[in-house]
């Protein structure tokens, strides 16, 4: 094939848009032809689509890069490939069923989606102060375990993308320990729908506290390995230090929160600044750095895992103290499942529960049926609730028209806001640093696109 056949018409131009004079479609083995024709033209400027199918874009993210050689002169994120209509679907489900949808947004940290949503529903219901203490403790426990698991993904995949493959393999190893515990508690490794308006779906299973002690001991033993592998590694530091820099002013302009914001030295953590679920009663520290770069964001996530482990240990002590206490509000018109009790095998309703609602009380059967099928009504109003997710400020805006379903549900996923800062961090830098920049933000496209 001659080099003149490497280029084709600009099939990407929108109607009315000026077409590019050269477009190359790599079909697998024709890179030499493309490079040859481009070299003949003597034009160093080239536009590259990175993604949406790319292992380093943390999901189906498309990055349109314009490059002069290896230097990025322009970069534009293209999103929407993972849009699933979650917020719109929630308008057609009861308030409790909405948990099943929102848990699938940031699927790496699903329990935070559930917590933010349920806290907002409880504000609208006016029952925030009625949530049982044990339910709040379990919420904090699963969120902090999920925070560690999320950071392990950020550190592991970010390391893998720059060649530190062992960081990824050990990261997934520790994450499996956490997911095993969450599965034993909720029944699922991810997308749990465990946190419900009014409390949580169920208490810890038999042997749950001992299982938790095993997880804590494992993490204490293995978390130091990440610092040993990475912190002082000269290649690791060269790839991350002074790369993807963003100072406090830029973070404020771009709506950046979480580890990238705290890497500027600003100690903004909603668990401290706007406490929820009783976080003000836990002993932990807000981790900050003043590096403004990808290396500082990595170190923050590394240190935050230890702070989360401190909180998990405090949860263990509180769970031992509150054994036998309720995990759902006492109001039978809200609590769902309605006074559910499991069978001896842990599968399905117990004989006592079935006997009561099916053979002893017509009222109990009617109530159970209406609560599950129709749901409870929420007073007219709107509310915004924000929590500190592993990525930053995760917010939910709920509007109720007084019915059994949300009139409107909208989420502020931190990754959505963070992606707009990619051009600021990458333009003028090298193409190889784009991967580092995106990884340092830790976006999850399920949450970005929703």
Could you read off the pLDDT of 39-50 as tens digits, one per residue?
676 666 777 888
According to the model, what pLDDT value does residue 390 have?
93
Range 183-192 average pLDDT: 88
For helices 133-161 and 208-222, angle between their N-to-C axes, nearest 10 degrees: 30
315-346 tens-digit pLDDT: 999 998 888 888 888 777 777 654 455 555 55
For 34-48, 53-67, 117-131, 240-254, which range has the lowest pLDDT when averaged over its residues?
34-48
The answer for residues whose C-beta is within 8 angstroms of residue 429's C-beta and 6 or more apart is: 71, 72, 243, 244, 437
pLDDT at 273 over 60: yes
Q: Mean of the pLDDT values across residues 305-318? A: 92
Give the pLDDT confidence of 362-419 residue by residue, as tens digits. Answer: 777 777 777 777 778 889 999 999 999 999 999 999 999 988 899 999 999 999 999 9
- Residue whose structure tokens are 């520290």: 285
352-355-361-367 Cα dihedral, nearest 10 degrees: 80
**Mean pLDDT along residues 233-251:** 87
Q: What percent of the chain has pLDDT over 70?
A: 89
pLDDT at 216 over 90: yes
CB neighbourhood size of 297 (10 A): 29
Residues 6+ apart with CB under 8 A from 56: 50, 161, 435, 438, 439
Per-residue pLDDT at 263 exceeds 60: yes
Q: How far apart are the first and last CA of the chain?
A: 44
What distance in Å separates the CA atoms of residue 125 and residue 135, rounded to the nearest whole number? 17
C-alpha count within 13 angstroms, C-beta hemisphere, residue 297 = 32
What is the overall mean pLDDT for the chain? 84
The most confident of the ranges 22-26, 202-206, 277-281, 431-435 is 277-281
Residue 1 pLDDT exceeds 50: no
Go through the domains of the chain in sequence order and give each one's CATH number: 3-78 (no CATH), 98-331+376-449 (1.10.645.10), 337-374 (no CATH)
Residue reference for tokens 């002893």: 360
Of 162-166, 188-192, 386-390, the range with the highest mean pLDDT is: 386-390
In the predicted model, what is the mean pLDDT of residues 155-159?
Answer: 86
| Arithmetic mean of pLDDT, 4-28 | 69
The answer to whether residues 27 and 8 touch, using CB atoms and an 8 Å cutoff, is: no
- The predicted pLDDT at position 116 comes to 93
> In whole angstroms, how far apart are CA 114 and each of 23, 35, 111, 330, 348?
45, 49, 5, 20, 23
Q: What angle do CA 322, 325, 327 make, to 5 degrees?
A: 110
13 compared with 187, residue with greater pLDDT? 187
Give the model's pLDDT for residue 380.
93
Looking at per-residue confidence, does 32 or 243 come out higher? Answer: 243
Q: What is the pLDDT of residues 421-447, one digit of tens each?
A: 999 998 888 888 888 898 888 888 888
pLDDT at 30: 65
Q: How confident is the model at residue 205 (pLDDT cuts 50, 70, 90)?
A: confident
């Amino acid at each position: 094939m001659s080099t003149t056949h490497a280029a084709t018409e600009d099939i990407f131009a929108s109607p009315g848009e000026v077409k590019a004079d050269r477009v190359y479609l790599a079909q697998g083995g024709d890179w030499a032809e493309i490079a040859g024709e481009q070299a003949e033209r003597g034009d160093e400027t080239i536009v590259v689509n990175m993604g949406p199918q790319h292992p380093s874009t943390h999901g189906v993210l498309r990055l349109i890069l314009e490059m002069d050689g290896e230097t990025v002169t322009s970069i534009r994120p293209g999103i929407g490939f993972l849009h699933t209509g979650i917020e719109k679907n929630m308008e057609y489900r009861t308030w409790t069923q909405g948990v099943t949808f929102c848990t699938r947004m940031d699927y790496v940290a699903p329990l935070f989606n559930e917590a933010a949503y349920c806290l907002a529903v409880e504000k609208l219901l006016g029952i925030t102060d009625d949530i049982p203490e044990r339910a709040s403790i379990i919420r904090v426990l699963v969120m902090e375990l999920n925070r560690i698991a999320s950071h392990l993904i950020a550190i592991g995949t970010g390391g893998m993308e720059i060649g530190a493959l062992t960081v990824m393999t050990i990261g997934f190893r520790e994450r499996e320990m956490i997911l095993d515990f969450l599965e034993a508690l909720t029944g699922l490794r991810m997308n749990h729908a465990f946190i419900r308006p009014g409390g949580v779906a169920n208490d810890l299973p038999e042997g749950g506290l001992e299982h938790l002690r095993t997880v804590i001991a494992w993490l204490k033993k293995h978390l130091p390995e990440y610092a040993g592998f990475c912190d002082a590694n000269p290649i690791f530091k060269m790839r991350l230090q002074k790369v993807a820099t963003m100072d406090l002013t830029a973070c404020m302009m771009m709506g950046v929160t979480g580890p990238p914001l705290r890497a500027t030295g600003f100690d903004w953590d909603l668990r401290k600044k706007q406490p929820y679920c009783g976080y003000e009663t836990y002993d932990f520290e807000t981790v900050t750095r003043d590096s403004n770069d990808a290396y500082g964001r990595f170190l923050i996530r590394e240190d935050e895992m230890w702070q989360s482990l401190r909180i998990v240990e405090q949860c263990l002590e509180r769970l031992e103290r509150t054994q036998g206490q309720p995990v759902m509000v006492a109001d039978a018109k809200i609590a769902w499942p309605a006074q559910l009790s499991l069978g001896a095998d842990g599968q399905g309703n117990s004989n006592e529960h079935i006997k009561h609602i099916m053979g002893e009380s017509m009222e109990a059967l009617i109530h159970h049926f209406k609560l599950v099928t129709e749901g409870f009504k929420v007073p007219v109003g709107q509310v915004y609730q924000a929590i500190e997710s592993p990525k930053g400020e995760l917010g939910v805006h709920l509007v109720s028209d007084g019915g059994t379903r949300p009139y409107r549900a909208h989420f502020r996923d931190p990754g959505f806001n963070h992606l707009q800062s990619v051009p600021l961090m990458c333009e003028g830098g090298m193409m190889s640093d784009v991967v580092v920049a995106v990884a340092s933000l830790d976006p999850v496209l399920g949450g970005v696109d929703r």
